[in-house]
Amino acid sequence: MPVFDYAPAPESRDIVALRPGYGLFVDGAFTEPADGGTFKTVNPATEEVLAEVAEAGPADVDRAVAAARRAFDGVWGRMRPAERAKYLFRVARVLQERAREFAVLESLDNGKPIRESRDVDVPLAAAHFFYYAGWADKLRWAGFGGDPRPLGVAGQVIPWNFPLLMAAWKLAPALAAGNTCVLKPAETTPLSALLLAEVLQQVDLPPGVVNIVTGAGGTGRALVAHGGLDKVAFTGSTEVGKQIQRTLAGTRTKLTLELGGKAANIVFDDAPLDQAVEGIVNGIFFNQGHVCCAGSRLLVQESVAEPLLERLKQRLATLRLGDPLDKNTDIGAVNSAAQLERITELAASGDAEGAVRWQPECPLPDRGWWFPPTLFTGVSQSHRIAREEIFGPVLSVLTFRTPDEAVVKANNTPYGLSAGVWSEKGSRILWTAQRLRAGVVWANTFNRFDPASPFGGYKESGFGREGGRHGLEAYLDA
Amino acid sequence: MPDRLAVRKTYKLYVGGAFPRSESGRSYEITSAEGRFLANAAMASRKDVRDAVVAARGAFAKWSGATAYNRGQVLYRAAEVLEGRRAQFVDEVAASEGRDRDDAAGTVDAAVDRLVWYAGWSDKIAQIAGSANAVAGPYFNFSVPEPTGVVAVLAPQSSSLLGLVSVVAPVVVSGNTAVVVASEDAPLPAITFGEVLATSDVPGGVVNILTGRTAELAPVLASHMDVNAIDLHGAAAGAATDLEQAAAENVKRVLRRPDAEPDWRADPDPHRMLAFLETKTVWHPMGV
């Protein structure tokens, strides 16, 4: 059979006009940081420096919080809700108008395939603003009392895996509920949030309603520990989430946390295997596995383990790793050298602890940070690769014999963010879904997201929900 | 001299459906508001806390897996038994809290009514906290509330029965199990309430009641890795920060200590139930 190779199909990056440097977005304008500090953000696929970005220190955070407070007291908190709604609708519309620009920028700064930034991140971000815009003037009927009030100023710290989408998840419900925001993007992916700041200028959002302070962990700590916040929302690692919970102990600041995961993806013997294979691939290799809800533990019923793994390996061999801007790329670059090191180290622990590594033949580009799709079989529950969040394209395969055993193994983790179930039998799916201690259960699908659908974890995966009516609670005095 | 010497009750802990003494062998003297000796209460230890958590965890699967209708009936049954023991609780609350009998009777009546109010929520809370979600795709998507797990409760210090019922009922009605630290100085109504639970079809381990020093027991609960949530209501003002920090070790859900004691006689709202619920969202494709 002739083999037809793919021709390169790169998306043009000309649509993105990068500035050499970016300031902090405070009180409606880009401003220089007090101490003039900057850091570089790079393209993880090429290691090329994309821009220099201001690093916010405590004085800058203070200025941003003060601007947010003024905007809350003076404008946003007292605006007619229907007017707030229209600002958010405008944001949604401009995101749609500039969708391609955002998609290319996101892939440049993050390393994710353009297919994903174009088809998932950006449309969902716009949808999120559109969804919550509609809530702004309907809060009385949201089920949090007859006169729910905004909390005030929200400090929001987001991760690098879905930079724009996480900004939307944080800002849209907060603003709809009448709060003002200080957002801290991740240090490796600040650019789409800064482009979003330009969008906020285009829609004439009043100054100070959203402030964006870029920087690394120190900036995040300064923001979270700032005494002037009424609300903190964090998405990121469980370790940092615990630190934030400790920081806010004894205060009146409301907190929601969306933390790590180690999701089980359970395949029963009556599952549609071809669909399951697609779901497993989407579950762990979507966004290079940089997904807190990734289906990183495959639990497959013993009787179908062999045929399933055979099909899974065949499928993995067809995945295309490379240029994130190429429209045919399935797996992009790992976001940073530090993350690549962590993935490499955890995968090595899999080898050392006796699991069996399998990787398809997969040439890696010379420059940039890459990790091939990886499968470990012979994994036991005590292995680090079965317990720790890898946040990379590494799948650990375990087996089970009975549904009870599947549930026990799936729940044998301090995390509880998500899980998957594959079976053609409805009663078995519902039985399993009911017993899984996880905030999101995907049955015969995986990694689906929607602004109307509440998302968030059990146990050490955090508390509070984002999305849907439930997502409003985090930003109201409910 | 009375004609007949009363048979006094020995007040012990309520753990796993049984009434053990503290494994530490310790007790402490409980006096009335005026300083009259009432009884010696068990002074629970760290080990008693851990035993109570084991009991609560062991009871969780069955209690959370029971039908909501069943849980509602069980709690309603507890209200029936509480009502039947009304006179005894009026005496205990009057002595413990220094109230006159009319006032104490009003408090006990309110506790019975509070239990009935929460019992009725068992099969309704999912309808106000859950949802069907209109996602943009061919999926059936719904969200349901589920109990958080084992919940530690530091009961109110001043309201020994009504306050206790008002913080325990919202925890267990949804399927959580509880480890409760009773009012330190007025723990006797709590242990008698344990007798109500033990005789009203509440499975052993669903509610576990410890008496003793709140300052000694609270940190053990706050830092316990198999406790999923904690209500800090009865914590000392100066202790809340440390307890919240300890609770972060396994990302416990924390219901913070209020600045002021609420009026327990006022009508409640659902927030205490909602504080100890998780939301589970399930996606399923639709197609032929």
Give mean pLDDT, residues A213-238: 98
Nearest to A250 among B148, B241, B253 (CB): B241
pLDDT value for A478: 83
- Report chain B residues whose CB lies below 8 A from the CB of A429: 284
- In sequence order, what are the residues at sequence separation of 6 or more whose Cβ sits closer than 8 angstroms to the Cβ of residue B215? B236, B239
The two beta strands, A231-235 and A29-31, are unpaired
Give mean pLDDT, residues A291-314: 97
- Report chain B residues whose CB lies below 8 A from the CB of A415: none
Of A119, A125, A108, A95, residue with least CA distance to A10: A108
The two beta strands, A374-377 and A356-358, are antiparallel
| ipTM exceeds 0.90 | yes
Nearest to A444 among B128, B228, B285 (CB): B285
Model confidence at A346: pLDDT above 80: yes
Nearest to A246 among B245, B281, B282 (CB): B245
Q: Is B284 on the interface with A (CB under 8 A)?
A: yes
∠ CA A13-A283-A364 to the nearest 5 degrees? Answer: 50
Q: A470, B143: Cβ pair inside 8 Å?
A: yes
Q: A448, B284: Cβ pair inside 8 Å?
A: no
Determine what percent of chain A is predicted with pLDDT higher than 70: 100
∠ CA A87-A92-A94 to the nearest 5 degrees? Answer: 95
Return d(Cα A463, Cα B149) in angstroms, integer.
13
**Which residue type does B86 have?**
R
CA distances from A195 to A47, A101, A191, A201, A233 (A): 21, 9, 6, 10, 21
Nearest to B251 among A257, A433, A440 (CB): A257
- Report chain A residues whose CB lies below 8 A from the CB of B139: 445, 448
Torsion of CA B21, B25, B26, B27, to 10 degrees: 40
Q: Is B46 on the interface with A (CB under 8 A)?
A: no
Return d(Cα A470, Cα A140) in angstroms, integer.
14
Return d(Cα A76, Cα B102) in angstroms, integer.
51
Return d(Cα A461, Cα A262) in angstroms, integer.
9
Torsion of CA A418, A421, A427, A430, to 10 degrees: 0
The answer to whether A55 touches A215, Cβ cutoff 8 Å, is: yes
pLDDT value for A1: 62
The label of the residue with tokens 């494994």 reads B23
pLDDT single digits (tens) B184-225: 999 999 999 999 999 999 999 999 999 999 999 999 999 999
Residue of B nearest to A260 (CA): B251
Q: A440, B280: Cβ pair inside 8 Å?
A: yes
Q: A468, B133: Cβ pair inside 8 Å?
A: yes
Q: Is B285 on the interface with A (CB under 8 A)?
A: yes
Nearest to B283 among A243, A448, A469 (CB): A448
Return d(Cα B189, Cα B127) in angstroms, integer.
34
Indicate which of A389, A422, A447, A450 best probes the interface with B, i.e. most B CBs within 10 Å of its own CB.
A450
- Report chain A residues whose CB lies below 8 A from the CB of B131: 454, 468-470
pLDDT value for A334: 98
Residue of B nearest to A469 (CA): B131
Q: Is B128 on the interface with A (CB under 8 A)?
A: yes
What's the token pair of residue B76? 């309603």
- Report chain B residues whose CB lies below 8 A from the CB of A441: 280-283
The answer to whether A51 touches A20, Cβ cutoff 8 Å, is: yes
Catalytic residue IDs of A: 258, 292
Q: B134, A452: Cβ pair inside 8 Å?
A: yes
How many Å lie between the alpha carbon of A366 and the closest alpha carbon of chain B? 40
Tell me whether residue B203 is exposed, middle or buried, using C-beta atoms within 10 angstroms of its C-beta: 0 to 12, 13 to 18, 19 or more: middle
What's the token pair of residue A273? 């295997």
pLDDT value for A281: 97
The answer to whether A383 touches A355, Cβ cutoff 8 Å, is: yes
Return d(Cα A316, Cα A278) in angstroms, integer.
10
Return d(Cα A438, Cα A432) in angstroms, integer.
11
Determine what percent of chain A is predicted with pLDDT higher than 90: 98
Q: Is A272 on the interface with B (CB under 8 A)?
A: no
Q: Is A120 on the interface with B (CB under 8 A)?
A: no
Q: What domains are defined for chain A? A: 21-259+458-475 (3.40.605.10), 264-443 (3.40.309.10)
What are the sequence ranges of the domains in chain B?
Answer: 27-285
What's the token pair of residue A82? 């229907």
Q: B281, A452: Cβ pair inside 8 Å?
A: no
- In sequence order, what are the residues at sequence separation of 6 or more whose Cβ sits closer than 8 angstroms to the Cβ of residue A454? A439, A465, A466, A467, A468, A469, A470, A471, B131, B133, B143, B279, B281
Return d(Cα A87, Cα B61) in angstroms, integer.
47
CA gyration radius for chain A?
22
pLDDT single digits (tens) A462-472: 999 999 999 99
Model confidence at B181: pLDDT above 80: yes
Q: A454, B133: Cβ pair inside 8 Å?
A: yes
Give mean pLDDT, residues A20-32: 97
Nearest to A143 among B128, B137, B242 (CB): B128
Q: A250, B137: Cβ pair inside 8 Å?
A: no
Packing angle of the helix pair A217-224, A238-247 (nearest 10 deg): 30
Model confidence at A3: pLDDT above 80: no
Return d(Cα A98, Cα A86) in angstroms, integer.
18
Residue of B nearest to A417 (CA): B280
Q: Is A242 on the interface with B (CB under 8 A)?
A: yes
| Confidence tier at B155 by pLDDT (50, 70, 90) | very high
Q: What is the CATH number of domain B27-285?
A: 3.40.605.10
Q: A250, B253: Cβ pair inside 8 Å?
A: no
Mean pLDDT of chain A: 97
pLDDT value for A473: 97
Return d(Cα A225, Cα A211) in angstroms, integer.
17
